[in-house]
Copies of this chain bind each other. A is one copy, B any other.
Amino acid sequence: MALNIYLSGEIHTDWREKIISGARGLDLYFTSPVTDHDASDDCGVAILGAEADKFWHDRKGAQINAIRTRKAIADADVIVVRFGEKYKQWNAAFDAGMAAALGKSLIILQPPEHDHALKEVDAAALAVTRTPEEVVSILRYVETGVLPG
Contacts and interface: CB of A to CB of B under 8 A. Distances in A.
Interface residues of A, number: 81
Interface string A32-59: 0011100100110011100111111011
SS of A interface (majority):
helix
Give this chain's copy count.
8
A90 B54 contact: no
A119 B61 contact: yes
Interface in A81-97: 83, 87-97
Nearest to A51: B53
A116 B98 CA distance: 20
Contact of A89 (B36, B58, B90, B100): B90
Contacts of A62: 119-120, 122-123
Contact of A96 (B1, B94, B147): B94
A85 B98 CA distance: 24
A124 to B, nearest CB: 7
A35 B144 CA distance: 11
